[in-house]
Amino acid sequence: MQLCGDRPEKLRETDLFPPVRNFLERQGYTVQGEVEGCDVVAKKGDTLLIVELKLNFNTSLLVQATDRLRLTDLVYVALPQPTRRAWRQNWPGYQQLLRRLELGLMLVSFSMAVPRLEVVFDPQPFQQRRHSRRQQAVFQELAGRSGSYNLGGSTRRQLVTAYREAALLIAWHLAAAPGPLTPRALRQLGTSPETSRILYNNYYGWFHRVGHGLYEISEAGKQALVTYRDVIEYFAPPTSPGHAL
């Protein structure tokens, strides 16, 4: 599984070895390459340190590095410095994964005549921290859904969130009404307490404001009722009096 962009073909894994070796030797380690399958092994007194070299962040690197944890707690992965774009987009997650695996990270920059090595972080015991605000957001989203409409991993249509479900119910009632409705009238029919805000923001373009506080369904809204017919049938069966898709 390839996780980040390829480096130039002229760069080889062996090019990472000298800057890693030089850095560790400056820290007082005795360094050897290719010892019992390990790319870099460094020893200082009774301390053993291992570095795995790779040109790209991938599963092979993670498998090898975590296997080295059987030998010592001081295991690093060393990679070429990623581009700024890759660092912004991909590396926050990669770093989190490495920290969870209790691995250290070294990055080698080849942008200058003499390669420069940076230790981004050292191996540390990982302590799981629950993100209470994100957890609460998950609970709120679950509470706002009336059923399970999404297939895990699906990308064929927009996900049915609690917000989208609330907007669909509003659209369903507007489609069935003989004329425009107010937010209050819609709430009396059982729509969300957030009906006024949903109509005002009109995030999906499903509604038309036809007068002061009066709304009707748009063509996009009618199409949404077709696209999400299964959702409509779940919380608002089409056999209900006065309602039809």
Q: Which CATH number fits domain 13-121: 3.40.1350, 2.40.50, 1.10.10, 3.40.50?
A: 3.40.1350
The DSSP-derived string for 120-146 is EE----------HHHHHHHHHHHHH-S
Collapsing DSSP states into helix, strand and coil, what is residue 37? coil
According to CATH, where is 1.10.10 located in the chain?
A: 157-245
Alpha-carbon distance of 196 to 198, in angstroms, equals 6
Q: What is the pLDDT of residue 150?
A: 46
Q: How many helices (H) and strands (E) does the chain have?
A: 10, 8
Secondary-structure class of domain 157-245 per CATH: mainly alpha
Whether the CA torsion 202, 207, 211, 212 is positive or negative: it is: negative
Q: What is the pLDDT of residue 236?
A: 60
| Residues carrying CATH 3.40.1350, the chain | 13-121
Residue 1 confidence (pLDDT) above 70: no
Instruction: Summarize the confidence of residues 44-58 as an average pLDDT.
Output: 94
Query: What number of CA atoms fall less than 13 Å from residue 21's CA on the CB side?
Result: 12
Closest of 94, 241, 224 to residue 170, by C-alpha: 224
Q: Is the pLDDT of residue 142 over 70?
A: no
- How far apart CA 111 and CA 29 sit, in angstroms, is 26
User: Which segment of 41-55, 90-104, 156-170 scores lowest on mean pLDDT?
Assistant: 156-170
- Best-predicted range by mean pLDDT among 47-56, 144-153, 158-167? 47-56
Range with lowest mean pLDDT among 18-22, 71-75, 83-87, 193-197: 83-87
DSSP class per residue in 46-92: TEEEEEEE-SS-BHHHHHHHHHHTTT-SEEEEEEEPPPHHHHHHTHH
- 40-58 in b/e form (b: 16+ CB < 10 A) is bbbeeeeebbbbbbbbbbe
Indicate the pTM of the whole model. Answer: 0.54
